[in-house]
Structure 1
Amino acid sequence: MPLPPVYGHADARAMLASAARAGNLSQSLLVHGPAGIGKERMAMWLAQRVMCEAPRADGPCGQCRSCRSIDRLEHPDVHWFFPLPRPDAATPEKLRDKLEEARGVELEARRANPHHVPQFDKAPAYFMGTIQNLQRLAGMRPAVGSRKVFVVGDAEAMVPQESSQEAANAFLKLLEEPPADTTLILTSSNPGALLPTIKSRVLPIRLLRLTADEVRDFLVRELKMADGEAASLAAVSEGAIGRALRLAPAGGNAGTLQRQRETGRELLQAALADSEAARFAAANAVAPSGARGEFTGTLESLALWLRDLMAIAAGAPDTVAYAGADEALLRRLASRPGLRAEGVARAILHVQEAQEMAGGNVNPQLILSDLLRSVRRALS
């Protein structure tokens, strides 16, 4: 299946198209902005513009052989890299081979489902073997055109604990002396985590959050979601299609959304319960392994409940996402002695930390047990 069209970011696309038309497009770029707003899709759009055989004034034509093959993730000169969990391998050579094999499997999943949201049981990162595979491809001549394009998604993952400093330094060498026929497009939701030497060698392109209408249009057109349901989901997506996809892991399944909403409410009530046993019971109700997508969606829902609670506590009920009878519950919780908006903000930060841990190989029950205690302290 082809990639969906780019939603939003009209100003950034116009600027990049103008630079390409004038021959001033940088050879190395960093597309950065909040998570889930379509940075990698934007990078693939830019790859189309670079490789397009008949570009228009506003971007790639979308119809030529190069544009169509990039849409299908089949162009031999456009290479999409992303963080992956470390496979078991005895030697560096076998690690390189297994990482490239894993990249192929993930690309196939993205070809089969353009709305695919990666889920891993171990924390993904960039390892030395991945960068060596990238360097090898960069050193080769283009297969069918005159240029090669590399999209390096979530580039900040080159320097987490699970990765190695050597991977980032090896990539830095490629940035310092890229082949003349090569364009490098990095994306990052946390550019501050990149090595300063990497940031100094790329042209930054900042993308802003999408509007709720743009997210709604995506959900209606791409997921065939009913307009009312799409509008409700877009309202809590915080301008991020990726967030909307995580909240609707079954492609807009209303039952999944309702289940996650109810679970998030139960977790909030467990966090505020006087009994520690209630928090242990809520944590033990989560599967100790597997179902990472479901657990991530549950944490997203808890974060939304807390956001609404903060809105009520701060006197801004018009921004509440979960309305109706649930608003009455939020008002009761907001009236608890000692609860303040700043405490709810701290609780939301704890959920964000738990979401980062959930991306790694950490037992969800342990994550949730610690999270609920932290949320209670913050709200008290």
Structure 2
Amino acid sequence: MAEGSPVKGERPWGQEDLLRRLAGAVAGRRLPQSLLVHGPEGVGKRSLALWIARALQCEAVETAETAEVPCEACRNCRMAARLEHPDIHVHFPMPRPKRAASRAKLREAIEAQRHERLALLREDLHARPDPDAVTGLYVAAVENIRDQASRRPSMARKSVFVIEDAERMVPQSASPEAANAFLKLLEEPPPFACIVLTSGRPDALLPTIRSRMVPLRIAPLPTERVAAYVAEHLGVRDADRARGVARRAGGAVYRARALVHSEDGESGAGESGAAADDLLAAALDGTPQARYRAASRFSARGARGELEPALEALRIRLRDMLCVAAGAADAALDPDRMKDRMKRSGGARGQGARGARGGPGEGAVLEALGAVDAAMEGVGRNLNPQATTALLVEEMSAAFAGRSTGRTAGTPQFAGVLRSL
């Protein structure tokens, strides 16, 4: 097993209250048939989705409504923990096979790729595929899902479908064909089928799909809780280093794991944080020279490998900026650093972009987050990362300068954060 890989059948760490409510819903047969598990990178969406699948198949559900599920001891739980249960179907975005003589051959090739990926996950539950590969949930994959869903379960009372990164159901050609095909399954699901989607960008799903799912958000954990996880479970005894890792992880324990297991906590996941800092600094600078330097940091190809994690880290920094701008600095993950950054940038920005605290105001930050959402969509379509970055920095600079980009509507989840502060 790869270093740092979790125990099979793990419980998502730090989500005890959520797990308790879900276990009660499963035991009482009240869990919705279609769920959308969403949240930032590294908060544990896959772990939670697989935990839900395991709970639904647990044999203890059949014995009493008060049973604790998943029991982790019955045959169903053990097989589910090993990713070997015949009635739990896990699907992922996959590269499109290059040679397939027919639609049937294409479906076979995609299914073979899926089983290869499952074999890797049995060795390391959090193994990541090639970040530069162009992947999608193509129509052929959705046809496989619908075919599997039409068959009654072979061993348990339910068939559970876990579909990861569901926003990639819209392929790089931007055709909604795959998503529309999946919608037909959601409109009339078999009574024995349960569907769990995961997504880091639920806004990218078709509205008709979102409206048929019950959303289940995994929120980032407070920095101190992640620091405790880093110390207790990852062996980082130095308190300052543990807090530093926790801040860079942005409340996500699995991102913290990646930071610790990369070289000295600064490469790999740490590089994405440094890239995010450069992007934000360039946007606050606002000059063409800064925009050029930010864009040239990324290669002309391979957007997902370098740019996608940097954009995820940039979202975390903009969330902190939003908290400070709204007067709720205590809710920020690294408030002191963000206050200093906003104070230093305030003099360079136009008054229309400045909030009462000397930096970009709430509306400007929300528009910048909308620009990040648009850049993430560009990454999903495999657009040139340098062009994507240049446009992103230009739009963020415009937002900070008080020139509306019209992107705010693309970030309702952050508007919700603002209302809750």
Q: TM-score, normalised by structure 1?
A: 0.79
Match of 1:95 in 2: 106
Ranked by relative contact order (alpha carbons within 8 Å, sequence separation 6 or more), the top structure is 1
Change in 2 beyond 3 A, CA 1:334/1:289: same
CA distance in structure 1 between the aligned counterparts of 2:329 and 2:220, rounded to whole angstroms:
23
CA distance in structure 2 between the aligned counterparts of 1:332 and 1:38, rounded to whole angstroms:
35
| Mean CA deviation greater in 169-178 or 311-320 | 311-320
Match of 2:334 in 1: 321
Measure how far apart 1:146 and its partner are. 4.8
String of CA shifts for 1:331-368, please: whole Å, max 9, x gaps: 32233242512334433332332233223312221122
Select the residue among 294, 301, 304 that pairs with 1:289.
Answer: 301
Change in 2 beyond 3 A, CA 1:220/1:293: farther
Does the CA contact (< 8 Å) of 1:84 and 1:99 recur in 2? yes
Match of 1:29 in 2: 34
Does the CA contact (< 8 Å) of 2:37 and 2:196 recur in 1? no
CA distance in structure 2 between the aligned counterparts of 1:352 and 1:119, rounded to whole angstroms:
22
Match of 1:109 in 2: 120
Change in 2 beyond 3 A, CA 1:29/1:317: closer
Matches within 5 A, 1:100-249: 100-118=111-129, 120-121=131-132, 124-140=135-151, 142-159=153-170, 162=173, 164-179=175-190, 181-188=192-199, 198=209, 204=214, 206-212=216-222, 213-220=224-231, 223-226=234-237, 228-235=240-247, 237=249, 239-241=251-253, 244=256, 248=259
Unpaired runs of 5+ residues, structure 1, are none
Measure how far apart 1:215 and its partner are. 4.0
Match of 1:46 in 2: 52
Q: Secondary structure at the match of 2:195?
A: strand
Match of 2:404 in 1: none
CA distance in structure 2 between the aligned counterparts of 1:116 and 1:80, rounded to whole angstroms:
14
String of CA shifts for 1:286-322, please: whole Å, max 9, x gaps: 2222373443333344445555556666666664627
Change in 2 beyond 3 A, CA 1:260/1:51: closer
Q: Secondary structure at the match of 2:291?
A: helix
Q: Pairwise CA RMSD of aligned residues?
A: 3.8
Match of 2:86 in 1: 76
| Mean CA deviation greater in 332-341 or 41-50 | 332-341
Does the CA contact (< 8 Å) of 2:173 and 2:381 recur in 1? no
Letter in 2 for 1:153: E
Match of 2:388 in 1: 367
| Mean CA deviation greater in 251-260 or 334-343 | 251-260
Q: Secondary structure at the match of 2:89?
A: strand
CA distance in structure 1 between the aligned counterparts of 2:286 and 2:316, rounded to whole angstroms:
22
Match of 2:344 in 1: 332
CA distance in structure 2 between the aligned counterparts of 1:295 and 1:225, rounded to whole angstroms:
28
Match of 1:20 in 2: 26
CA distance in structure 2 between the aligned counterparts of 1:252 and 1:336, rounded to whole angstroms:
37
Number of equivalenced pairs: 376
Match of 2:279 in 1: 267
Measure how far apart 1:130 and its partner are. 0.7
String of CA shifts for 1:71-117, please: whole Å, max 9, x gaps: 22122221111333433244322321222122223323322322334
CA distance in structure 1 between the aligned counterparts of 2:397 and 2:159, rounded to whole angstroms:
52
Measure how far apart 1:60 and its partner are. 0.9
Letter in 1 for 2:90: W
Change in 2 beyond 3 A, CA 1:277/1:210: closer
Measure how far apart 1:17 and its partner are. 2.6
Change in 2 beyond 3 A, CA 1:163/1:41: farther
Match of 1:377 in 2: 398
Measure how far apart 1:225 and its partner are. 4.5
Q: Identity of paired residues, percent?
A: 36
